[in-house]
Amino acid sequence: MSWGTELWDQYENLSLHTQKGIEFLERYGHFIRDRCAIEVEYAAKLRRLVKSYQPKKKEEEDYQYSPCRAFKMELNEVNDQAGQREVIAENLQANVLRELNILVKDFKEDRKKHLQEGARLMANLTGQIGNLERARKAYEKAFREAERAVENYQRADADLNLSRAEVEKQRMNMTLKTQQSEEAKTEYANQLQKTNDMQTLHYHTAMPEVFQHLQELDEKRIKNMRNYMLKSVEIERAVAPIIAQCLDGIEKAANEINEKKDTLLVIERYKSGFQPPGDFPFEDLSVAKTYDSNSQLSQPVMQPIHNHHLTAKGTVSGSKIKKRVGLFGIFSSNKKLIENNVPGYGDGAKEDCSDLPPNQRKKRLQQRLDEIQAKIQQETAARDGLMKMKGVYEQNPALGDPMSIEGQLNQSSNKLDKLGAELAKFQGYFEEAMRAGVSLSSPSQAPRKPTSNGSATRPLSSRRSSHSGGEESLSRSASDSSVSNANANQPIHKKSAPGTPQPTHGSTNSPESGLGESRTSLPGSGGEEYYVDEIDAQPPLGTCRALYPFDATSEGSIPMYDGEELYMIELDQGDGWTRVRRISQPIEGFVPTSYIECHLYNT
């Protein structure tokens, strides 16, 4: 089917149809353009949405829970989806919209050219028909005049009254008019033939060709419309697998949410490691009457009841509790000096994290150890790179001076030494925290019953006198119960510890004999450990290493674990006890001499 044969007389309608078709294609281009703008805007809004819901730095610790991690993964997948929407917009603009705009412009130009050609052909045919009409009218006029001239000649020839000259005149007029009629007839015949030929060419060749071009133009428009729609589908289908992967990632993240694991994480994060408080004791006021030094009766006073339900620092409500003071806060004389010299004292956190609950302390120290080990690996890699560079310089001095690397190598070695020392220090802190955690959960660390005078602890006697300058040894003591408890708490697979020395209650060296002015033991320590003033601390005579673990259960003694390194402050005075001080903390006490291996400093 062809427009030239079927629609030979529908020039105006075809012109209007092609115009509407091109306008429709242009409208589809506007649709693609607006869709690209929407896709870009949608992607931008998705990115802004993801950015606004990204976890803040202060919220990173909360994102260890599975719902938070899943939500973060969903944000990442949505951000990837936004990128795919941008890809769709870019491909539509590059592969559809740009080509479509060029095609619409070409269609408009081709249509205009074809319509102009059709208008020219129609104008030529119309002009030829006009010439034919004029030739026909001229022939008709000449034929009428020729007929009248013939009638006038016949009438004059029949009239005997007219002269011969008048008859000759009518004959010549007749001949002229007849000749003019023949010429008009010939011209009319020529114009008629020419018009018929042109009309045949116009309707069978010229205009069908124009209509054929218009038909091809319209079919090309329709075919490209189909192609552009299919290409739009292909562009979106190309990113569909990636979007499907994003949705699969969201589904996978949702399936990874585990309420049981989150419950364990909450326990691990907020568990303090302390034991629940015991029962409140009953205080009988009728028995609590005492007399003071002036022999005046004192009124019985009930001790205030402390709330043990407060949560320690590092737990959920830890931020509501006033920050507790450092371990040295019990000494008021040199408190300011300690605040200036002890790391982490006061408002800042302590270096050994001893102000945290046991579980939180172990966790924080483990993080610190991981950080130090990462720094050591990084610094080791940097040093190895410098060594390789030095080797290259030594093999090829033209590349550089090997001595220029020495300074960097020395600096790297110093950093590694400092990091190693810091690692060893924090490993000691971590081991101490592990031991503290075990001791808290051990039944041997249960609160000690009060002694005969109602006190669970006794202060140490003063080591030195500011006036006499002489030093008295710390009182020493040991009980059979402490020895039996210490041996009973040892694991079965360990080799048995040697016997503990017997107490000498009458001796001046007995831990329970001298109770003069002394450092005060920490509240709740049960008299097992004693803190010493850093200013008055006696310099160590050497170091010692614990051969067996020892649980202190008597006044003046301190516990130690197998392999622990301690400072030796005072040698054994013959009673089987040696005075030691912890390396990591200013805590002094007595341990059995047979439980340690001593190493004196060379003086």
First to last CA, the chain: 121
Please check whether residue 156 lies inside any domain of the structure: yes
CA angle 221, 222, 223 (to 5 degrees): 95
Is residue 149 in some structural domain?
yes
At 190, is the pLDDT very low, low, confident or very high (cuts 50, 70, 90)?
very high
Q: What CATH code is carried by the domain that includes residue 548? A: 2.30.30.40
Domain assignment present for residue 26? The answer is yes
Of the CA atoms within 13 Å of residue 550, those in its CB half-sphere come to 30
Are 366 and 430 within 8 A, CB to CB? yes
Q: What percent of the chain has pLDDT over 70?
A: 73
Closest CA to 209 of 11, 48, 488: 11
Mark which of 415, 433, 451 sits at the end of a domain: 433
6 within some domain: yes
Q: 1 or 578: whose pLDDT is higher?
A: 578
16 and 159 in a single domain? The answer is yes
Q: 457-492: string of b/e by CB count within 10 Å (b at 16+)?
A: bbbbbbbeeeeeeeeeebbbbbbeebbeebbebbee
| CATH number of the domain enclosing 100 | 1.20.1270.60
- Please say whether the beta carbons of 33 and 97 come within 8 A: yes
In a domain, 55, yes or no: yes
- Asked if the structure places residue 322 within a domain, the reply is no
* Element housing 291 (H / E): strand 290-291
pLDDT range class, residue 163, cuts 50, 70, 90: confident
In this structure, the answer to whether residues 429 and 571 fall within a common structural domain is: no
Q: Are residues 428 and 545 in the same domain?
A: no
DSSP string, 238-290: HHHHHHHHHHHHHHHHHHT--HHHHHHHHHHHH---PPPP-PPPP--TTS--E
Within a domain: residue 94? yes
**Helices 207-255 and 98-158: angle between axes, nearest 10 degrees:** 160
Cβ-in-10-Å burial (0-12, 13-18, 19+) of 258 comes to middle
558, 411: one domain: no
Q: Which helix (H) or strand (E) holds 599?
A: strand 596-600
Q: What is the pLDDT of residues 462-494, one digit of tens each?
A: 333 333 333 333 333 333 333 334 344 444 344
- pTM, to two decimals: 0.50
Which range (29-33, 134-138, 341-345) has the least confidence?
Answer: 341-345
Q: Are residues 91 and 206 in the same domain?
A: yes
Domain residue limits at 426: 372-433
Q: Do residues 247 and 110 both lie within one domain?
A: yes
Residues 197 and 77 in one domain: yes
Residue 487 lies in a domain: no
Where a domain ends, among 241, 256, 271?
A: 256
At residue 100, the pLDDT reads 93
pLDDT tens-digit readout, 499-540: 566 554 444 444 443 333 333 333 333 444 445 554 457 888
pLDDT digit string, tens, across residues 422-441 = 898 888 888 888 877 665 55
Report the range of poorest mean pLDDT among 23-32, 62-71, 524-533, 575-584.
524-533
Overall number of domains in the chain: 3
Domain boundary among 198, 222, 256: 256
Q: Which helix (H) or strand (E) holds 540?
A: none
Does pLDDT of 270 surpass 90?
Answer: no
560: DSSP letter: B
Q: How confident is the model at residue 213 (pLDDT cuts 50, 70, 90)?
A: very high
Are residues 18 and 143 located together in one domain of the fold? yes
Give mean pLDDT, residues 560-586: 89
- Which is nearest to 556 in space by CA: 597, 491, 504? 504
